[in-house]
Amino acid sequence: MTILRLALTTTLLLSVLSLHAQPGCTDPMASNYDPQAQQNDGSCIYPPTAYQPPLVCLLDPLASEVSGLVWHDGILWGINDSGDGPTLYALDTLTGAIAGQATVAAATNVDWEALTRSDTHLFVADVGNNDGDRSVLRIYRIALDQLGSSATLTPDIIQFSYEDWDESLPPEEKQDFDCEAVVFFGDSLHLFTKGWNSFQTKHYVLPATPGNHTALLRQAFDSNGQITDAAVDPAGALVLLGYNVQTAESFLWLLYDTPMQPPPAWDPFSKNKRRIALGSALTNGQTEALVFPRPGYGLIGSEAIGPLEARLLRLGTQQWWSAPTLSAEPHLQHHFQIRPFAYGLEFVWGGAFPLDMYLFELSGRPMASFRLSANATWRWHSNNVPSGVYFYAGYSPWGQRVVSGTLQVTR
């Protein structure tokens, strides 16, 4: 029998601040970092940053208008926007080929623009509104266990209107209600408008349940471009994708160090806001879709434009932030434990919500990932893991890093 000796360092990242903490920029990667600051007041300023996302593969012509991506059970799924049928495509991430299809029953693709998911449901957002004249929009909610197991998907329907949309608005203001970015977390859907004319995105919150609803306006943000998708990076950020119609430059906004609490508390624009220039549409295509298969690793889907074919691009985000700035849930350290057993390690979690756990080599190469249920123990059979130091991190369902640390395995 193999005996493991385990040296464990656990870090609980606290967002609790002193009542008299000094406000300022707390991010060491910012130009105006203040080492005396203890409370992030959202004032961080970052140097201009450019990044060319590497090409993964070209996409099959059937996915030439890719507008949304979602990752489920190791499979990348995508949709096209207006002009296609009510179809989801399974995409081979090595070749870009179509590996499978599924049709949403009794659905119409007026202008499908976003895909997102919860632990139990897939959401197909028919929210495109280029002319701003759609007063009622629609999101199809589909039980996630249908995806990959059935060629025909049966949806529930979420219908909604924006609380501040009005038929009497001038055309240029109505056009700003176009939306291509929808994210689920907490128990709600979060919508980020495109901002055709204002170059500003508005954040709305919508119940993720079937029925007729009103999308409530929460905040607005000067995005300096048009927002085409959004995704939660489980490493600890909301990421907005877009391009600028005046310069043809693609970009990301990394919004982080904000406790990613369920609504209405969450304000994604209140803390760090870092813009990453991604290069020209003449190189990247029209960047329209974003998904994070694992923390810090994203895929961008670009529509075909001119002679450029639709494509998948690769994205690594953790180079742009420093781990100490990432907030986490307070007062949970005593609920988490890692301990050895005869054939590996036991991960014990006593919290009231599940944790998504990830284990990495110190080089960043992923080793394992698993869901640790609320009040549960999960056994990792690690007999084939060599001696060494490894990094682990656990995330809440709304993308907040709760626990992290290193563990040393000695045989």
For the chain, the domains span 55-320, 336-409
Q: Could you read off the pLDDT of 308-354 as tens digits, one per residue?
A: 999 999 999 978 865 433 333 444 555 788 888 777 788 999 887 88
Q: Provide the pLDDT for residue 172.
A: 86
Q: Provide the pLDDT for residue 131.
A: 87
pLDDT band at 262 (very low <50, low <70, confident <90, very high): low
Higher per-residue confidence, 366 vs 248: 248
The answer to whether the CB of 17 falls within 8 A of the CB of 311 is no
Distance between CA atoms of residues 394 and 380, nearest Å: 15
Q: Provide the pLDDT for residue 326.
A: 36
Distance between CA atoms of residues 195 and 201, nearest Å: 5
At residue 6, does pLDDT exceed 80? no
Higher per-residue confidence, 167 vs 5: 167
pLDDT band at 260 (very low <50, low <70, confident <90, very high): low
Residue recorded with tokens 């004249």: 133
Q: Provide the pLDDT for residue 69.
A: 98
Q: Do the domains 336-409 and 55-320 match in fold?
A: no
Q: Could you read off the pLDDT of 201-257 as tens digits, one per residue?
A: 999 999 999 999 999 999 999 999 999 999 988 777 899 999 999 999 999 999 988
Distance between CA atoms of residues 389 and 391, nearest Å: 7
Distance between CA atoms of residues 237 and 279, nearest Å: 21
At residue 112, does pLDDT exceed 90? yes
Q: Provide the pLDDT for residue 328.
A: 38
Average pLDDT of the chain to the nearest whole number: 86
At residue 55, does pLDDT exceed 50? yes
Q: Report the 10 Å Cβ neighbour count for 65.
A: 21
Global pTM reads: 0.77
Q: What is the rounded average pLDDT of the residues 390-395?
A: 80
The Cα-based distances of 2 to 315, 337, 340 in angstroms read 39, 21, 11
Q: Is 306 helix (H, G, I), strand (E, B) or coil?
A: coil
Q: What is the rounded average pLDDT of the residues 174-184?
A: 94
pLDDT band at 185 (very low <50, low <70, confident <90, very high): confident
At residue 114, does pLDDT exceed 80? yes
Quick one: tokens of 336?
């988490």
What percentage of the chain has pLDDT greater than the value 70?
86
Distance between CA atoms of residues 97 and 230, nearest Å: 24
Whether domain 336-409 has CATH 2.40.50: no
Task: Tell me the fold of 55-320.
Answer: Neuraminidase (2.120.10)
pLDDT band at 409 (very low <50, low <70, confident <90, very high): confident
- SS3 string of 174-229? HHCCCEEEEEEECCEEEEEECCCCCCEEEEEEEECCCEEEEEEEEEEEECCCEEEE
Q: Could you read off the pLDDT of 82-93 as tens digits, one per residue?
A: 889 999 999 999
Distance between CA atoms of residues 312 and 321, nearest Å: 24
pLDDT band at 400 (very low <50, low <70, confident <90, very high): low
